[in-house]
Structure 1
Amino acid sequence: MSQPWQQQPDGGYGQQPQQPGGFGQQPNPYGQPQPPQQPYGQPPQQGYGYPPAQPQSPGQPQPWGAPGGGFPPPPPSGGPPTNIALAILAAVGAALVMGFLYAFIYDAMFDENTGEVQQISYVALAIGAAVGVGPAFLARNNWGVYILGAVLALVAAIFGELYGTAMILAEYSGTDWSAFKIFTVEFGNLWDLWQETNEAINWIFLLLAPAAAIGITQAVARRVR
């Protein structure tokens, strides 16, 4: 008895059966799920360990190599730095040195025959310039230190004449007292003698010392601007 004819599966004789889930799709190996697809128009997500992208304002691109923000560097200041304490020390030291130097010059300018001392105006100018150099360079535009330097220059000039007078007395008075002893022990009498022998022109020469101290400070201040 003949068998009834049976219909072949879809695809015909010799063809593979139709795969479920759509044509051409391969099953996911090892059972791993597929990553979700990004919606259209959204930027891709950064991988693990990457910093998030910084948003930028539209129309203002950041130039390549430009620094990030912050304050601009301050403009460099012209001239040497200011040091008030060092300026005062320099003025005091210069006043002491120039005062003793002027005392030796004052003693050398004494005329034994006339008993007078020849005044030299440029010595007071040199004293003022030497005392004013420190404040001029180390305390720029500080009038308090400038005035202090002028006062020290005047004191140095007066000290030079007083100590020079003591040196003259120690040399020509016929005593065994030194100039230092006369200056310290007999300072009152020494001051009176110095004032009696001074003339009006001598005070003008003394005022040249503070004037020179202020003048050197202003000259340096104009130069470093």
Structure 2
Amino acid sequence: MSQPVPPPNQPQQPYDAQPGGGNPFAAQQPGQPGQFGGVPFAPAAPSRNNVALGLLAAVVAALVAAGIYGGIIGATKHQIGYAAVGVGFLVGLAAGKVGGRNPVLPVLSAVLALVSVYFGQLLGVAMINKSDSMPLSEVFLDHFSELNSLWKADIDPIGFLFFALAAFAAFSSAKKATG
């Protein structure tokens, strides 16, 4: 097989003598069209370390998780520890992924997880104790003090353990989700 012959006006150089020490892409400037059309190999990292956005994501996750947790309690008529851990994990994950590495976010995530578990448990108590003639929203909103009294009478040391597990899960998942 014959070797290709370089044009007479260009001297042949060994591969190592190319600009960039043998890297055929070294001479190409970023963003300039080249062999791959100027498309970067990886997307730019999103701008993170936004406490407000992380807090907003954590609040939304806390509301969704409280509704799911309350639904689980209402359907099973029992508190489930793994569900409380899931509430904390979801809140912390949302805050860490969206908000970034700010050291305030894990603490805020733990507090929001506690609030979310509390409202989830209240929603579960409301679902268990509601009558057929009264809608759930009325039980939860118009009779909140009675609902809170029922919750206080029903809470036990295991319920407080679920609070602690949710806060720990939120704190640790917020820290790990950042990086």
Residue 142 of structure 1: how far off its partner (Å): 1.6
Deviation string 1:166-225 (CA, Å, 9 cap, x unpaired) is: 11112xx4x51111101111111110111111111111012211110111122234xx3x
Correspondence 1:189 to 2:146: yes
Correspondence 1:150 to 2:110: yes
**Separation of aligned partners in 2, 1:126 and 1:158:** 14
1:168 aligns with: 128
One-letter amino acid matched to 1:97:
V
8 Å Cα contact 1:84/1:145 also seen in 2: yes
Matched, 1:129 2:89: yes
Structure 1: where are the runs of 5+ without partners?
1-77, 111-116
Contact 1:162 1:190 in 2 (8 A): yes
The aligned counterpart of 1:205 is 162
Q: Quick check: 2:73–2:124 contact (8 Å CA) kept in 1?
A: yes
Quote the Cα distance in structure 2 between the aligned partners of 1:200 and 1:179.
27
Aligned counterparts of 2:177 and 2:144: Cα–Cα separation in 1: 38
**Residue 23 of structure 2 corresponds to which residue in structure 1?**
none
Give distance in 2, aligned partners of 1:94 and 1:220. Answer: 15
CA distance in 2, matches of 1:120, 1:164: 11
Deviation string for 1:130-186 (max 9, x for gaps)?
11112212333322222111111111111011011111112xx4x511111011111
Judged with a 3 Å threshold, the aligned counterparts in structure 2 of structure 1 residues 212 and 79 are, in CA distance, closer, same or farther, namely: farther
| Residue equivalent to 1:29 | none
- Residues 54-133 of structure 1 correspond to what in structure 2 (within 5 A)? 80-82=46-48, 83-110=50-77, 117=78, 119-133=79-93
Larger Rg: 1
RMSD value, Cα: 2.0
Structure-2-length-normalised TM-score: 0.69
Larger RCO (CA under 8 A, 6+ residues apart): 2
| Structure 2 spans left out of the alignment, 5+ residues | 1-43
1:220 is the counterpart of 2:174: no
Name the SS for the 1:157 alignment partner.
Answer: helix
1:105: Cα distance to partner? 0.3
CA–CA separation in structure 2 for the residues paired with 1:218 and 1:136: 6
Aligned equivalent of 2:14 = none
Give, in angstroms, the shift of residue 80 of structure 1. 4.3
Query: How many residues were matched structurally?
Result: 136
Which 4+ residue blocks in structure 1 deviate beyond 3 angstroms? none
Sort the Cα spacing of 1:79 and 1:151 in 2 relative to 1 into closer, same or farther, 3 A. Answer: farther
Give 2:124's aligned amino acid.
G
